[in-house]
Structure 1
Amino acid sequence: MRAAGMAVAVVLGATGIAALPAQAATTTDVVNLALANVGGMACGTNSAAATASTAAAPGNGGQPEYWCADFVKWLWANSGVADLNGLTAAARSFYVYGANRGILSGTPTVGAAVVFSNNRGDTSAGGGGIHHVAVVSKVNGDGTIETISGDWGGQSGTEAHFASTSHVIHNTPAFAGGVGSYSSTMKMYVEGYIPPPGVGTGSTRSAFSEGRGILYYPQGDGRLLWYDHTGYLSGTQDWTGNSGTQVSQGWNEYSTVFSGGNGVVYGISPNGDLHWYKNTGYLSGTTDWAANSGVVVSHGWNEFREVFAEGDGILYGITQDGRMIWYHHTGYLTGTADWTSNSGAQVSQGWDEFSHVVGGSDGIIYGVDADGHLLWYDHTGYKSGTPDWTANSAAQVSQGWDAFAHIFSGGNGILYAVSQNGDLHWYDHTGYHAGTPAWTGNSSALVSHGWNN
């Protein structure tokens, strides 16, 4: 546990903390990194043989100190969070960080930091105030959560003795996640959540398609690159000569970026604002955008673990507990904040069982389950927001899709899959309208490289 206001000097040693690969991280990766280090100690070594790192301040006379805040900060740093300014060894620094950036939330989300106090409602730096910070590892449908904590369960004695005998622990059983709730698991009160900025459900660095062979690839430094796969209908390695052109910048301020079709691109800010952009040069790769690009068209989109569009202003969000929520942005062509009155309707549930959810077109949605099976769904109510699906929805149409780091749709049955080494593979599901396992013979063709940069 971590007392407010105390500096921490922690050595995250060379083989007890497993580092993520250099490719884009998501909030799920934050949790996986934390889980990989359950049982680890502050001065232990990590199984990935990562470079040792230390906090800047010597703190407790050079002795081990409380290190829960350093652990969460380390998770964020290794998951692509660029802005760590203001995060210190004090657990309360996360609360201040969130408040100052407008991202302090009362809603638990996977990968978010959660702060705890000894006295309900006391967010001060005093003895009854914020005393501990952990990372949310699971959000259940009933609002309960599980967390992973650094510096937990140390032996009584001096601060140095506690810190040197404590571990990374998976805090279970699940407990109430509402702000102000007392957790018998943690023996403290929940005081708020802070999502990691720039780390999204799909990550800003996940490529996506506009359809018609047009692909966008946001980079870690914020550049948005444009590609035209002229071989998208046949699976050949043909691309226009200007593929790879930078058409915009500054996209690393968003936690999630995805296509809305017809040159429309949406970006979700860490605070949940949904921003609208229109690349009027999307067919040719020019840097032309609508004058009102960047306008906020909605709020509250940081509650979703995944967000995708089906075209024509139809958007879906999947909540942490697996509910699928439908929206119709009627202002999607012009960037107005107009939505149908039934936007926000729940049309399905159980989608938290999938590692990937991919929006196709015309109501077709794919999910990859834990065994790598590719399941097909047809939301016949996709235009109106009703919970109507074909009877054969959930049909298995392929397998082995758990081998891919990222999957996205090119429209009309075309799927792109990025392998762990960055190879881009092309698939054509000819049975996408009916849910049959029919694919072209050259499906899985390698069409490009370097899509994990």
Structure 2
Amino acid sequence: MIMPIRRFKQAGLAAIVAATAVSGLMVAPAHASTTSSIAATATAEVGNGPCAHGGYWSGLSSQSTSCGGSGGQSQAWCADFVGWVWSQNGVAHLSAIDNTAASVYDYGKTYGTLHSTPQVGDAVVYNYDASSDYADHVALVTAVGGGSITVVGGNEGHSSGHSQGIVQEESTSQYAEGDAPWGQVISGYISPVVKPSVALNFSQTVGGNYNGDKVSDLFAKDSSGNLFVWTGNKGGAFSTRKQLTGGWNFTQTATADFTGDGFGDLVASDTSGNLYLWTGNAGGAFSTKKLLTSGWNYTQTVAGDFRGTGHADLIAQDASRNLYLWPGNGDGTFGAKKLLTSGWNFTQTTAADFNGDGIADLVARDSSGNLYLWTGNAGGAFSTKKLLTGGWDFTQTTAGDFTGSGHADLIARDDTTGTLYRWAGNGAGGFAAKVQVTTGW
């Protein structure tokens, strides 16, 4: 159970500024049927490497796939394996888990499921250090009884000649908190929180101005791989959806006007790490995809004019939690990446101009459910973060001017009900109370 790559979850940008709070939503820990299903899912993967199923990850932007574009591991992938197994079994709040083992421990603290007695379906975290928010490893408990436990973990087996790691099953009679089986101290057990039985009908929800009317529209993908657009109308309503294409086997979807023609374009990456551009036109159609770059091993890709140049840029994070900016040239091409910050321990990153200065800002959530705003400055720098609210138990957070007011708003999904909500922006970095957009999202 020795891992070749140490994964840190470092401190982010500093300073908290209090703001209006929004009530969060909680759900119950997983039931026995769910935990036994988690154990079965994990056990079925024993012996697989990092590229099984095209890579292990939760399917959310907070994690990147365990399989790199070269066909091997893209990072230490023990947390990616946990995210994948839990995502197959209806576990809630997976946007709080990133590529690090420490984020699983933080999940337990945030949702009140961190404890010291192993249960089937739990994650077990090893060598957690609170001062650095770092942990060596995480695995899943698949059996408890007879004075021992069995665990299944990803990114193991390196000492047995598996250079990329495999999914491995092991048992031990040393399972108390503080015990050190395999030389790694057990820091605690984390039970998953199960979602209610509300189907996820749409994913990759992203806002952008599709038709050039200055009111933001919504893009999303259904479970069959169809990509749709809902055009926005002043006041915050949306038209009936329009199908753009089927077979949308892409992730990291972002939208902005990358070519300067007034119409929204799309960028997205495939499972091989290729990043593509689809340019939009006046008729509402998109061009054939154009390869922008290969080796796009980044997550949380967002778009906006972050420099005040009038050209849309890209921002994304790498597996080491570094956040980068790629400046747009206004013709569908981009300059060399620029490091914005390291230790980006945030998820659900989205972008829009929230304060009306013509420069795109960032909004993101930390592992404790706090939602922050970083306002952009000319040149591509950002202010110290400002706390917008705590208890942000929503997913698929996206931004845009959905009401036609000239101010950027937020839209997000409540996973417990499948309801999509909008928070109208006031142009000064604040937001009104949430308003229901639709159900069955």
Q: Same fold (TM over 0.5)?
A: yes
Name the amino acid aligned to 1:329.
Answer: G
1:104 aligned onto 2:72: yes
TM-score using structure 2 length: 0.56
Structure-2 residue corresponding to 1:294 = 289
Name the amino acid aligned to 1:259.
Answer: T
1:417 aligned onto 2:407: no
Matched-pair contact (CA < 8 Å) for 1:323–1:351: yes
SS of the residue corresponding to residue 239 of structure 1 reads coil
Name the amino acid aligned to 2:278.
Answer: Y
CA separation of 1:109 and 1:310: change in aligned 2, threshold 3 A? farther
Q: Distance in 1 between matches of 2:75 and 2:395?
A: 28
1:308 aligned onto 2:302: yes
| Fraction of identical pairs, as percent | 14
SS of the residue corresponding to residue 272 of structure 2 reads coil
1:427 counterpart (423, 427, 433): 423
Instruction: Please report how far the alpha carbon of residue 104 of structure 1 lies from its aligned counterpart in structure 2 after TM superposition.
Output: 2.7
Q: Distance in 2 between matches of 1:445 and 1:111?
A: 35
Q: Distance in 2 between matches of 1:317 and 1:278?
A: 20
CA separation of 1:227 and 1:136: change in aligned 2, threshold 3 A? closer
Alignment coverage as a number of residue pairs: 304
Name the amino acid aligned to 2:386.
Answer: A
SS of the residue corresponding to residue 301 of structure 1 reads coil
Structure-2 residue corresponding to 1:14 = none
Instruction: Please report how far the alpha carbon of residue 153 of structure 1 lies from its aligned counterpart in structure 2 after TM superposition.
Output: 11
Structure-2 residue corresponding to 1:276 = 277
Matched-pair contact (CA < 8 Å) for 2:423–2:434: yes
Q: Which residues in structure 2 correspond to 1:38-437 (within 5 Å)? A: 46-48=32-34, 68-69=46-47, 103-105=71-73, 107-108=75-76, 137-138=100-101, 146-149=136-139, 167-168=150-151, 187-188=159-160, 191-192=163-164, 205-211=203-209, 212-231=215-234, 234-235=235-236, 238-240=237-239, 243-251=240-248, 253-261=249-257, 262-280=263-281, 286=284, 288-290=285-287, 293-302=288-297, 304-311=298-305, 312-330=311-329, 333=331, 335=332, 338-340=333-335, 343-352=336-345, 354-361=346-353, 362-381=359-378, 384-385=379-380, 388-390=381-383, 393-400=384-391, 402-411=392-401, 412-420=407-415, 421-432=417-428, 435=429
Matched-pair contact (CA < 8 Å) for 2:54–2:271: no
Instruction: Please report how far the alpha carbon of residue 110 of structure 1 lies from its aligned counterpart in structure 2 after TM superposition.
Output: 7.2
Structure-2 residue corresponding to 1:449 = 439
User: Between Structure 1 and Structure 2, whose CA radius of gyration is higher?
Assistant: 1
Q: Distance in 2 between matches of 1:110 and 1:273?
A: 24
Q: Distance in 1 between matches of 2:423 and 2:255?
A: 19
Instruction: Please report how far the alpha carbon of residue 308 of structure 1 lies from its aligned counterpart in structure 2 after TM superposition.
Output: 0.8
- 1:25-80 deviations in whole A, cap 9, x for unaligned? xxxxxxxxxxx99xxxxxxx95526669979xxxxxxxxx9962379869979967
TM-score using structure 1 length: 0.55
Matched-pair contact (CA < 8 Å) for 1:110–1:139: no
Q: Distance in 2 between matches of 1:204 and 1:449?
A: 11
Q: Distance in 1 between matches of 2:275 and 2:102?
A: 23
Name the amino acid aligned to 1:168.
Answer: V
CA separation of 1:47 and 1:76: change in aligned 2, threshold 3 A? farther
Name the amino acid aligned to 2:322.
Answer: R
Q: Distance in 2 between matches of 1:267 and 1:350?
A: 24
Instruction: Please report how far the alpha carbon of residue 249 of structure 1 lies from its aligned counterpart in structure 2 after TM superposition.
Output: 1.8
Matched-pair contact (CA < 8 Å) for 1:365–1:376: yes
- 1:153-172 deviations in whole A, cap 9, x for unaligned? 999xxxxx9xx97622568x
Q: Distance in 2 between matches of 1:152 and 1:372?
A: 28
Q: Distance in 2 between matches of 1:298 and 1:247?
A: 23
- 1:106-149 deviations in whole A, cap 9, x for unaligned? 544676569xxxxxxxxxxxxxxxxxxxx965499x9x984445
Q: Distance in 2 between matches of 1:50 and 1:74?
A: 21
SS of the residue corresponding to residue 329 of structure 1 reads coil
Q: Distance in 2 between matches of 1:329 and 1:320?
A: 23
Name the amino acid aligned to 2:227.
Answer: L
- 1:212-248 deviations in whole A, cap 9, x for unaligned? 23111112222111101214xx34xx333xx211111
Q: Distance in 1 between matches of 2:375 and 2:300?
A: 18
